A and B are shown apart, each in its own frame.
Chain A
Amino acid sequence: MDSRLKETWESCVKCGICRSVCPVFKEEKSEPYVARGHITLLSELVSGNVDFSEYEAKDYLYKCLLCTTCVEACPNNSETDTIVEIARHEVIKHHGLPLYKKIMAILLKDRALMDFAFRNATLFSSFLFKRNDDSSRASLKTKFETPIMEKGRLIPKLTKKTFLQKYKDYSDNYGYLSLFPGCLINYTYTEIGDAFVNILKKLDISFRVPQKQLCCGAPVYFAGNFEDAAILARKNIDLFSRVNSRYIIVMEPTCASMIKNDYPKLFMYLEDKEYEKKARDLAKKVLDPVKFLYDNTDILDRLKHLDMKTTYHDPCHLKRAQNIKDEPRAFIKKASNFTEMKEADRCCGNGGTFSIDYRETSLKIASRKVEHIENSKADYLVTGCSACIMQLSEILHRHEDDHIKTIHTLELIDMALDGGNNEG
């Protein structure tokens, strides 16, 4: 294995500092669910001292949010997220991929199939879910118990027209920006994408929405399926390397972090030097939308002050993976009455499939945020990631805090650019 990757776990000195910050450990209180434990397992696996199938290792390997809170706190920057991903991959390499993960990979690799699946889900949604408009964010409530979701769980409503389809006309023309919405904005939270498009139009910034883009691959990569992740990565790299835009705006922080940080690591692992280089070149053009607006436009000065009480939640993949924390706050402070909540950067506990596999733990982790959100007295919880919005609006609903609306930073910016009472 590439020595640069080996360093990510050989640097661990087993001090235990990660125990004091890991959100999963806080709930589980046992060593298999913390960075130090994950790291030990992988190094034992690689050195051949233990061998395990996915089945026995499941909890030990999958009960990690990949939130990188431990990486931030670790004095040696041991990269637990990378380590866990590699460990998951090592297991798959030896024992193969379970069926449902194979199906997921097939879907993600094919836009038409993916669209088909979602169209059908939309059709059936009235049967499976009931509308839930009184929650913190419009959503659907599951009517039945299913293997992956309990009854009463809130999920975002599916859009009739995906983001890509909506902006089909913008596919081939030249654009200063190329937009990469990511699956959640494409299929469910299209309105967040719309907000950004509105802003761009108001600012007269040209953009395009390349239609051939695929899922960034994070869901398969996080599951340790590096081969399929690499197929998706190569296709996206090829597509976006050809695009002649100045920036590629990746709206979901998880996708942005995947493309910027994980593509190069993935090809490093696969020892594909050509694509490692391409990935690094592409990474230079990838930008979060809020960060783009902050760095490259004068929109901050143009925002009006709205009479809204707000607070902000730092998404892991925005703050820790991309070091973006001050920019959104600058906008929110300008546009509203902002109160910083305690532990704003505590992980919301979503963690992608983690919230399905470990529902109870995921909700416990999210619940720890509720008190801080309530104490901020905000009416609007602002954040910059769809997965966080999904998780936080649900947990607020469960705590009967539906009056606190969960919105995206882009939506707030869009609102403040539209109207407001101009006092700020």
Chain B
Amino acid sequence: MLKKRAYEKLKRIFKDRCFLDKLGRVQYSYDATQKMYLPDIVVLPTTTEEVSKIMKIAHRYEIPVVPKGWGSGFTGGALNIDGGIALSLEKMDKIVEFDEDNLMVWVEAGVVNYDLQEFLKPYDLMFPPDPSSWKFSTIGGNIAENAGGPRAVKYGVTKDWIKALEIVLPNGTVLNVGSKNIKDVAGYDIVDLMIGSEGTLAVITKALLRLYPLPEHKRTMEIVFDDMEFAAKMVSNIIKNKIIPTSIEFVDKDAILAVEDALKVGLCKDADAILMIEIDGSLCEVEEGVKKIEDICKNSQGVMSYRVAKDEKEADEIWLARRSISPTLKRIADGKLNEDIVVPITKLAQMIKKTQEIAKKYDLPIVSFGHAGDGNIHTNIMYHTNDKDETKRAYKAMDEVFDVCLSLGGSITGEHGVGITKQDYLEKQVGSDAINLYRAIKKAFDPKNILNPGKMRL
């Protein structure tokens, strides 16, 4: 009853930027996990004040609120698992202040990562975090998940590039945290706490991002292996030789076949694995890097062939193939347990070998690809959802993958976050004391537990 009054109020304020009808709500009921939970109401604010207004109403009537970016998340963070308000930020998509002199930019949370890159290009600048989903994920979502992309090997992840935030607390208070100063140690670092908080502590409305000059030169290489373990070994070999490429991406056999089937870009179908490497910097840096890697290739086992992309078009094709893998896996089976484990680089070969053993043991295809250069591998356990036995085996296989990962000192998620799909595994990794601390922090921000409840064991 009370809720109903709140919803009517929101509808009055937001009019056609608010959906109460079932059809409209259905369209905000999912994200890239393909799970569906119907929100009671959808609101699309355009300003910080509007976000604050929504939070105040929600706070007063104690209604759950789930912040949403573009819904490309892989762990269900943006799902309204308890109904309530879907607060979707796609209309807050403005670049607020471009400070070319300080190499920083203030953007609204709903700006799409790639649109920002396009804006920056004429100024020879970039925002280094480049998740594969950069064309369809927001800066707010990137911050909330602490997204990382292929360039992370050299440039780090989202966390390394955020200077300040404007946030709206669960009670509607608007707060500015952080500053333009390169050094600033006044008080707790709330900015860092917000990064990776998955929309559970506050709604991010604006962000001040640090920028970096676009590299003058770039070169893309592709190395083809007849055995994926050697590909994994090559990764640590490259780093050990003090070469820091922009990205080192790993693609295994099944992923090659799926993406080649979809895009036909000429990936080698006989390969057991491929490494895609990008090096950037000055011409001489780039040339030296390429030469060093070529030398390593000549002296390594398992290398079937390698090539350097001859022009931008060829390089773009290689990267398009890499970015398209994830959605094309549906060709293998309709069910997918999509994990993004990460291990120290030196443990990568071991992790890959164990994963293959697990695949054999449970008789299921496990497709591995991802950001090998930082030890982050997307392990996709494929199964048919209508086959009960396969489904059971898939979940068992996943447990085992996590166990191996943790035993190697790794983490259950490198970039996709915890959300709902990984929350049952979180405690195993961080321990119950940490979970208790999380809950205490959550309570300090959100005593009524209205902001994205039921995620991350909170």
Contact = CB atoms under 8 A, between A and B. Distances in A.
Contacts of B324: 75
B23 A16 contact: no
Interface string B12-38: 000001010111101111111110000
A41 B23 contact: yes
Contacts of B30: 14, 40
A76 B26 contact: no
Nearest to A75: B327
A57 interface: yes
A31 interface: yes
A12 to B, nearest CB: 9
Contacts of A44: 26
A40 B72 contact: no
Interface string B328-339: 101100100000
A60 B23 contact: yes
A190 B30 CA distance: 49
B330 A11 contact: yes
Nearest to B86: A31
B133 interface: yes
A413 to B, nearest CB: 30
Contacts of A19: 70, 136
A106 interface: no
A103 interface: no
A342 to B, nearest CB: 12
A204 interface: no
Interface string B50-69: 00000000000000000000
Contacts of A101: none
B358 interface: no
Contact of A15 (B29, B114, B327): B327
Contacts, number: 83
A51 to B, nearest CB: 9
Contact of A20 (B32, B71, B112, B263): B112
B24 A32 contact: yes
A165 interface: no
Contacts of B136: 15-17, 19-20
A15 B27 contact: no
A74 B324 CA distance: 9
A57 B90 contact: no
Interface string B309-345: 0000000000000001011101100100000000000
A15 B327 CA distance: 7
A70 to B, nearest CB: 12
Contacts of B327: 13, 15, 17, 74-76
A20 B135 contact: yes
A175 interface: no
B130 to A, nearest CB: 14
Interface string A50-91: 101000110010000000000000111100000000000000
A32 B25 CA distance: 9
Contact of A76 (B28, B72, B90, B330): B330
A75 B17 CA distance: 30
Interface string B111-132: 0101000000000000000000
Contact of B32 (A10, A13, A30, A77): A13
Contacts of A37: 27
Contact of A30 (B44, B135, B326, B334): B44
Nearest to A60: B23
A29 interface: yes
B93 interface: yes
Nearest to B24: A32
Contact of A52 (B17, B23, B71, B137): B23
Given A11-B330, A40-B30, A75-B328, A56 B135 contact: no
Nearest to B93: A29
Interface in A1-44: 10-11, 13-17, 19-20, 29-32, 37, 40-41, 44
Given A19-B70, A29-B91, A75-B262, A13 B34 contact: yes
A58 to B, nearest CB: 10
B328 A76 contact: yes
A16 B26 contact: no
Given A50-B22, A56-B21, A13 B27 contact: no
A16 B330 contact: no
Contacts of B34: 13-14
Contacts of B72: 15-16
Contacts of B326: 15
A420 B374 CA distance: 61
Contacts of A16: 32, 70-72, 133, 136-137
B339 to A, nearest CB: 16
Q: Which of B26, B28, B114, B133 has the most chain A CB atoms inside 10 A of its CB?
A: B26
Contacts of A30: 17, 44, 88, 90-91
B74 to A, nearest CB: 9
Nearest to A34: B27
Contacts of A11: 330
Q: Which of B30, B136, B263 has the most CB of A within 10 A?
A: B136
Nearest to A77: B262
Nearest to A44: B26
A49 B25 CA distance: 13
B23 A57 contact: yes
Given A75-B324, A75-B327, A32 B93 contact: no
Contact of B31 (A14, A49, A57): A14
Contact of B114 (A10, A20, A40): A20
Contacts of B112: 20
B87 to A, nearest CB: 13
Contacts of A77: 262
B23 A32 contact: yes
Contacts of B26: 40-41, 44, 49-50
Contact of A40 (B27, B32, B91): B27
Nearest to B134: A20
The 3 A-B residue pairs with the shortest CB-CB distance in the complex, in nearest-first order: A75-B327, A20-B135, A16-B136
19 contacts: A13-B32, A13-B330, A14-B33, A14-B34, A15-B327, A16-B71, A16-B72, A19-B70, A20-B135, A30-B88, A30-B91, A32-B19, A40-B26, A40-B29, A41-B27, A50-B22, A52-B23, A60-B23, A77-B262
Interface of A: 10-11, 13-17, 19-20, 29-32, 37, 40-41, 44, 49-50, 52, 56-57, 60, 74-77
Interface of B: 17, 19, 21-24, 26-34, 44, 70-72, 88, 90-91, 93, 112, 114, 133, 135-137, 262-263, 324, 326-328, 330-331, 334
Given A14-B33, A20-B112, 17 more contacts: A11-B330, A14-B31, A14-B71, A15-B72, A16-B133, A16-B136, A30-B44, A31-B27, A40-B27, A40-B29, A40-B30, A41-B27, A50-B22, A50-B23, A56-B21, A57-B23, A76-B327
